[in-house]
Amino acid sequence: MLAPRTLRRILYAAGTSLAVVGLITGCTSGTATNTQPTNASVEGNEAQGDTIVIGYSGPASDHGWLGAINSAAIAEADKYDDIDLRVAEGTNDANLQISQVEGFINDGVDAIVLLPTDGAALTQVATRAMEAGIPVINVDREFSSTFAARATILGDNYGMGVSAGTYICGELGDNPDAVIAEIAGIDSLPLTQDRSAGFAQALSDCGLSVTNRVSADFTVAGGEATTSQLLAAAPQIDALWNHDDDQGIGVLAAIDTAGRDEFIMVGGAGSANAMRLIQAGDSVMKATVVYPSTQAADGIRLARLLVQEKAMSDLVEVEIPSRIVLNAPVVTSENVDKYLPTAFES
């Protein structure tokens, strides 16, 4: 018996051959032949197909962005009558998440969308799913092997840092002595390291660098505590970048308590409350960098396309890309109205 992947390749090759024959016939007769939607067209993608079962495992919703990413995934699946979504309980426990994926494999789901609590820890079980013929869509935190996922969809952590640094350069680039502060997230995470690296690179391009840096833990309490320490150590700041708008609630509380307003602040992730502050224009908050909370929802769409052997209609390519990195735009008072309607609540 042929493996599912081999069978699909044979069927695809046969379909391609038939398409070529049809094209030749059409040219010979002088009439157009292909007027029906294809699997690489908008109509073909939206057309209802066979019902597919998608297993989704994501993080515990203990953070505004994480809650938004889970909710968006569920809402996206609800839009399609041909998706049967099986949602595992959100968790920050890698071992529990491994058992959830094992359950999906045993149940024989058609695809798995997985935002791992730890990409490296979930790599092995994701690889087993792929070997079992179940395509895995890796979301946000990358596995340590390319064999663990058919498609990976990510926010641009390095790009977030670049965007934040570029904005600050535009505001302060004519001041070579500007004092730049940075409040990172969890330093042990690759995403935090990437954000800081992008920030440093962008600043260096205009002759600036980070003067004062602390790391928090993506929580309100952590943001407030570390910012209090930073402000005490830095009596003068010209610009501050906070990696995460959820911990930014604590960051802003510490700034208010200290009575500091001599600097501009840039946020990260793009929460609705941060955007409302930017819109109001009466605080140090002048911009935030978007880290899309649509990633898991996009993963649901990709899973559906993969299993139903469809493609992305806006591409000429007839295969789903193996890697998609979303943009990290800067939101300011000039464009906040564009981004606020889809922002997540902290």
Could you read off the pLDDT of 247-283 as tens digits, one per residue?
999 999 999 999 999 999 999 999 999 999 999 999 9
Domains of the chain (ranges plus CATH)? 4-18+50-154+294-310 (3.40.50.2300), 157-291+330-342 (3.40.50.2300)
Task: Locate 102 and state its tokens.
Answer: 């094992």
Query: Could you tell me if 296 and 249 are in contact, meaning their C-beta atoms sit under 8 angstroms apart?
Result: no
| Each residue's pLDDT tens digit, 30-57 | 433 444 556 667 787 787 889 999 999 9
Alpha helices in the chain (DSSP H): 4-29, 42-46, 64-78, 94-107, 119-131, 157-172, 190-204, 220-233, 245-258, 272-280, 295-307, 336-339
Share of the chain above pLDDT 90, in %: 78
Please write down the HEC assignment for all residues of 64-105.
Answer: HHHHHHHHHHHHHHHCCCCEEEEECCCCCCHHHHHHHHHHHH
Average pLDDT across the chain, whole number = 89
Whether 21 has a pLDDT exceeding 80, the answer reads no
Mean pLDDT of 143-167: 97
Q: What pLDDT sits at residue 38? A: 64
Whether 297 has a pLDDT exceeding 70, the answer reads yes
Q: What pLDDT sits at residue 37? A: 56
